[in-house]
């Protein structure tokens, strides 16, 4: 029997086509079947009144860690799926540094089998180098041909420039996407926050922005001799943005992302040694944060990620230098980003594009658009409702959010994956 649902009384938002109208959207058997001001629905359609709320493509999060390595794999996948659904995220790109490390087809299949019953889509992002060691190229060709063609060493930088050069060349033969983490190892070693006056005041070892920019500059130089598709996972400073801008101007197939905390917080969030704001790369200066917003606005930065990284609270209840870096973020991806709409920095469709159509294009996914024939992965949100982020109410098992108590406007009220409702906000 066909499963038919008609969503009525919605503000339809499709960043890809620029659509922003009051209308209706019909899904049949997990696909979008029609969308318009008025849609003729079959008789058996279940009708859901969205009460004027926004309806956009389900969010695609390109940087998600599925949990504390060594913790119960299955349970963290289930929980990650639930947290994603609550955040309007319908596709999570799983970083490979789980246990086991995802660096080959069997590991991808293992993850897929584990994630079969998860609420949202899990896409494996396999490692660029075997076991993330930065020494040997993983089986990029075989994995790409099997449809897994976005690779990353997630939180590690490939230090060896000769190896990086070969990776770019090799990957270009398979149209693989290489996603990088930008932190020159020697400049980053022992560092735990942005280098600068505050680090000096707190007596903490700093990581200069140069650590990020140097790697990006090196990679751009190497890309000159290959056509590899390149995505900088997180850019956090004005200097890196300048390098990106040049590369894009010169026609390189380069894209870039940024994580939500770097959009909305600066280094002062860690004052008083708040380990919940310890990140890699670290939170930067206010000038850099403003540059990031500008780069989102002018399109230099294409993607916004949550960087969702559940950490055992015990690894955060230690002195700052010893604390693990990482924050959860699936449930605060959309509402924190909507700040840029409410404070009139960036228009709504452009913000949504960074979490829907842009990552879909970069990753080669069918989702991320409101289009007939596209998967019915949808996010429904109330654009204006004001409240405070409350860590205690979060679905994520670990509560290491850096936004607890922050006043926000906008809330996900419903999430749909392949036509099925996977989340409903209950007040």
Partner 1 sequence: MSTSQPSFPHQHLLGIEGLKEADISQIIDLADKYVDQNRQTNKKKDLLEGLTQINLFFENSTRTRMSFELAGKRLGADVINMSMSTSSIKKGETLIDTASTLNAMRPDLLVVRHGSAGAVKLLSRKVDCAVINAGDGKHEHPTQALLDALTIRRRKGRLARLTVAICGDILHSRVARSNIHLLNIMGARVRLIAPPTLIPIGAEKLGAEVFHCMEEGLKGCDIIMMLRLQTERMQGGYFPSISEYFSLYGLDYEKLGHAKDDALIMHPGPMNRGVEIDAAVADDLTRSVIQEQVEMGVAVRMACIDLLTRAKRGVN
- Token readout for 268 is 């002062």
Q: Which is nearer to partner 1, 203 or 373 (CB)?
A: 203
Q: Which is nearer to partner 1, 99 or 271 (CB)?
A: 271
As measured in angstroms, the least distance from the Cβ of 314 to partner 1 is 7
- Token readout for 23 is 């209308």
Span from 199-207, 215-223, 344-352, 404-412 in contact with partner 1 (CB under 8 A): 199-207
Q: Of 206, 310, 359, 410, which one interacts with partner 1 (CB under 8 A)?
A: 206
Q: Of 75, 109, 197, 366, which one interacts with partner 1 (CB under 8 A)?
A: 197
Q: Which is nearer to partner 1, 194 or 358 (CB)?
A: 194
Span from 38-46, 170-178, 313-321, 359-367 in contact with partner 1 (CB under 8 A): 313-321
As measured in angstroms, the least distance from the Cβ of 275 to partner 1 is 9
Asked if 286 is part of the footprint of partner 1 (rule: CB under 8 A), the reply reads no
Q: Which is nearer to partner 1, 17 or 200 (CB)?
A: 200
Q: Which is nearer to partner 1, 100 or 196 (CB)?
A: 196
- The count of chain residues that interact with partner 1, using the rule CB under 8 A, is 21
Q: Which is nearer to partner 1, 117 or 322 (CB)?
A: 322
Please state, in angstroms and as integers, the Cα–Cα distance from residue 28 to each residue in 54, 307, 364, following that order: 20, 33, 23
Q: Which is nearer to partner 1, 195 or 402 (CB)?
A: 195
- Please give the Cα distance from 165 to 221 (Å, whole number): 10
Q: Of 4, 199, 327, 352, which one interacts with partner 1 (CB under 8 A)?
A: 199
Q: Which is nearer to partner 1, 75 or 271 (CB)?
A: 271
Beta bridge partners of 34: 26
Q: Of 37, 201, 249, 392, which one interacts with partner 1 (CB under 8 A)?
A: 201
Q: Which is nearer to partner 1, 271 or 424 (CB)?
A: 271
Q: In the range 316-345, which residues lie near partner 1 by CB under 8 A?
A: 317-322
As measured in angstroms, the least distance from the Cβ of 285 to partner 1 is 11
Q: Of 200, 246, 343, 384, which one interacts with partner 1 (CB under 8 A)?
A: 200
Q: Which is nearer to partner 1, 110 or 268 (CB)?
A: 268
As measured in angstroms, the least distance from the Cβ of 134 to partner 1 is 21
Q: Which is nearer to partner 1, 195 or 340 (CB)?
A: 195
Q: Of 113, 116, 147, 203, which one interacts with partner 1 (CB under 8 A)?
A: 203
As measured in angstroms, the least distance from the Cβ of 322 to partner 1 is 6
One-letter-per-residue 3-state SS of the chain = CCCEEEEEEEEEEECCCCEEEEEEEEEECCEEEEEECCCCCCCCCEEEECCCCEEEECEEEEEECCCCCCCCHHHHHHHHHHHHHHCCEEEEEECCCCCCCCCCHHHHHHHHHHCCCCCCEEEECCCCEHHHCCCCECCHHHHHHCCCCEEECCCCCCCCHHHHHHHHHHHHCCCCEEEECCCCHHHHCCCCEECCHHHHHHCCCEECCHHHHHHHHHHHHHHCCCCCEEEECCCCCHHHHHHHHHHHHCCCCEEEEEEHHHHHCCHHHHCCCCHHHCCCCCCCCHHHHHHHHHHHHHCCCCEEECCECCCCHHHCCCCHHHCCCCCCCHHHHHHHHHHHHHCCCCCHHHHHHCCCHHHHHHHCCCCCCCCCCCECCEEEEEEEEEEECCHHHCCCCCCCCCCCCCEEEEEEEEEEECCEEEEECCC
Q: Of 25, 83, 195, 263, which one interacts with partner 1 (CB under 8 A)?
A: 195
As measured in angstroms, the least distance from the Cβ of 159 to partner 1 is 17
Spatial contact of 373 and 35, defined as CB atoms under 8 Å apart: no
Span from 10-18, 69-77, 149-157, 197-205 in contact with partner 1 (CB under 8 A): 197-205
- Please give the Cα distance from 349 to 353 (Å, whole number): 6
Please state, in angstroms and as integers, the Cα–Cα distance from residue 183 to each residue in 42, 217, 423, following that order: 55, 12, 37
Span from 47-55, 192-200, 257-265, 403-411 in contact with partner 1 (CB under 8 A): 192-200
Residue 34 CB-half CA count within 13 A:
15
Q: In the range 240-279, which residues lie near partner 1 by CB under 8 A?
A: 272-273
**Residue ranges in contact with partner 1 by CB under 8 A:** 195-206, 272-273, 314, 317-322
């Amino acid at each position: 029997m066909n499963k038919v649902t008609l969503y009525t009384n919605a503000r339809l938002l499709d960043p890809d086509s620029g659509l922003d109208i009051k209308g209706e959207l019909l899904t049949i058997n997990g696909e979008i079947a029609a969308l318009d001001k008025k849609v003729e629905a079959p008789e058996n359609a279940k009708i859901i009144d969205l009460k004027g709320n926004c309806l956009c493509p389900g969010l695609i999060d390109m940087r998600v860690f599925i949990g504390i390595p060594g913790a119960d794999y299955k349970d963290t996948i289930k929980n990650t799926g639930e947290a994603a659904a609550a955040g309007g995220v319908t596709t999570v790109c799983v970083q490979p540094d789980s246990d086991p490390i995802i660096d080959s087809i069997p590991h991808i299949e293992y993850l897929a089998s584990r994630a079969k019953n998860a609420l949202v889509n899990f896409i494996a992002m396999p490692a660029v180098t075997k076991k993330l060691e930065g020494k040997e190229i993983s089986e990029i060709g075989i994995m790409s041909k099997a449809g897994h063609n976005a690779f990353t060493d997630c939180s590690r930088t490939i230090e060896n420039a000769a190896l990086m050069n070969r990776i770019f060349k090799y990957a270009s033969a398979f149209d693989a996407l290489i996603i990088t983490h930008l932190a020159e190892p020697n400049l980053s070693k022992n560092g735990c926050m942005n280098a600068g006056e505050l680090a000096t005041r707190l007596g903490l070892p700093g990581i200069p922005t140069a650590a990020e920019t140097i790697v990006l500059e090196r990679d751009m130089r190497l890309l000159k001799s290959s056509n590899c598709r390149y995505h900088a996972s997180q850019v956090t400073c004005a200097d890196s943005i300048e390098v990106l801008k040049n590369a894009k101007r010169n026609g390189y197939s380069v894209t870039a992302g940024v994580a939500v905390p770097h959009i909305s917080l600066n280094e002062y969030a860690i004052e008083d040694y708040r380990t919940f704001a310890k990140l890699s790369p670290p939170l930067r200066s206010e000038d850099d944060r403003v540059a990031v917003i500008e780069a989102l606005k002018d399109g230099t930065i294409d993607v916004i990620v949550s960087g969702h990284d559940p950490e055992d609270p015990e690894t955060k209840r230690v002195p700052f230098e010893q604390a693990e870096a990482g924050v959860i973020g699936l449930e605060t991806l959309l509402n924190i980003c909507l700040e840029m709409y409410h404070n009139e920095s960036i228009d709504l469709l452009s913000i949504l594009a960074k979490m829907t159509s842009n990552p879909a294009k970069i990753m080669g996914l069918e989702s991320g658009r409101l289009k007939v024939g596209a998967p019915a992965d949808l996010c429904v949100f109330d654009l204006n409702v004001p409240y405070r982020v409350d860590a205690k109410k979060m679905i994520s098992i670990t509560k290491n959010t850096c936004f607890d108590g922050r006043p926000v406007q906008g809330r996900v009220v419903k999430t749909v994956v392949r036509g099925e409702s996977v989340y409903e906000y209950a007040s």
